Structure 1
Amino acid sequence: MRTRRGARAGSYVDEAGRPVATETFDRVRASVADARSFAVDALAGWRIGDAADRVELVVSELATNAVLHARREAFRVTLRPLGDRVRVEVCDFSRDMPVLVSADADDVHGRGLALVEAFSWSWGADRLPWGKRVWAEVERETGDPCGAGPQSGDRPVWATRRSQTLYMAVVLVLMGTLAYGVMSG
């Protein structure tokens, strides 16, 4: 993983006794993949595999926004487990707040925050004196601290928020692909 000018990646325990992982990345496209790897590694270290795919997607979208829209040369990703959720924070030096927009089928950009909203329990942004913090809380599949998912027979497969969200994401991608094919063909 890459850090900027010696900025230290770190893990610590917050005042509530919860683990926190944080790292500063260069504001370049390659850092989005590094930020995703950082998130997956942190969750694996905490044995929270049940939220890894959604956290990875949220980190990817928020890091991409920081790379595309922030000022200066760096952004910071912070992760912390909150019981049945994982909090993702991305801080950057731009005071421009994110705006959730409705992207048209032929738009190349503009779907990132919609994905963050779809895959998060809640999300928002806080203005800071020097920039902003965009955050999202991603639900875990279970409150089990070891990250074990539900046992078979606990509930129907389409009854989970995760399965419903993944289904909607697939539908949206297919609709976008079909619309793009119709528009370009």
Structure 2
Amino acid sequence: MATRARARDWAYEDEAGRPMVTECFDRVPESVAEARRLVTEAMAKWQMEAVADRVELVVSELATNAVLHTRREAFRVTLRRLGDHAVRIEVYDFSRTMPTLIAAGAHQVHGRGLALVDALSQRWGTDRLPWGKRVWAHVAAPTAYEPPGLAQPDEAPIWATRKSQAVYVGVVLVAMGALAYGMRSR
């Protein structure tokens, strides 16, 4: 098994009194799945299902980077609950090489991990430490930070005010009239 500590102690709190969990993993590919299990357990324990998928994906990407690009035999994952809808993720490793967000080409196998972290996080960054680095990300449930009324790409826009609804109906009627007039003139 890739996990160094077998039993998880859920009694941890950080210096601000927030619930946290932390665990060390061997730097082997199997540890990425173990880190995801840590997230699954923490999100269930903290009743944070709304953010669980995002946190799991971000941890998976950061743990994969630690396995692929760092030195020494281990890395650490720490999760801190930041409220009812947000989590701070920290991945510590012994490499001082800072991660770089790059634009991966269509045929490249690697290089998209930090782009996913960037897309799923409110913010993320790195801190250089005397013995390595910490890569961190703040992840929140979609409703916790996305402005209301913005449509997802596959959804119709939400028209929240009467004025915007009237403008929308007017535009649709004008477009329909133009189409009808165009059809008659042929």
Class of the TM-score when normalised by the shorter of the 2 chains: 0.7 to 0.9
Report what 1:75 is aligned to: 75
Question: Aligned pair 1:99/2:100, yes or no?
Answer: yes
Question: Aligned pair 1:32/2:32, yes or no?
Answer: yes
Report what 1:89 is aligned to: 90
Q: Which amino acid aligns with 1:39?
A: V
Q: Report the CA distance between 1:9 and its aligned residue.
A: 4.5
Within a 5 Å distance, the mapping from 1:9-88 to structure 2 comes to 9-11=8-10, 12-83=12-83, 84-88=85-89
Identity, in percent, stands at 63
Shift >3 Å, 4+ stretches: 6-11
CA 1:40 to 1:7, structure 2 compared with 1: closer, same or farther past 3 Å?
closer
The question of whether the paired residues in 1 share the 8 Å contact of 2:92 and 2:134 is answered with yes
The question of whether the paired residues in 1 share the 8 Å contact of 2:14 and 2:80 is answered with no
Q: Which has the larger radius of gyration?
A: 2
Q: What is the CA deviation profile of residues 53-78 of structure 1, one whole-angstrom value per residue up to 9, with x for unaligned ones?
A: 00000000000000000110000000
The question of whether the paired residues in 2 share the 8 Å contact of 1:3 and 1:9 is answered with no
**How does the TM-score come out when normalised to structure 2?**
0.74
Report what 1:137 is aligned to: 138
**How does the TM-score come out when normalised to structure 1?**
0.74
The question of whether the paired residues in 2 share the 8 Å contact of 1:18 and 1:80 is answered with yes
Q: Report the CA distance between 1:2 and its aligned residue.
A: 4.4
Higher normalized contact order (CA 8 Å, seq sep 6+, divided by chain length)? 1
- The runs of 5 or more residues in structure 2 that have no matched partner are 155-186
CA RMSD of aligned residues (A): 2.1
Separation (CA, whole Å) in 2 of partners of 1:36 and 1:132:
21
Q: Report the CA distance between 1:3 and its aligned residue.
A: 2.8
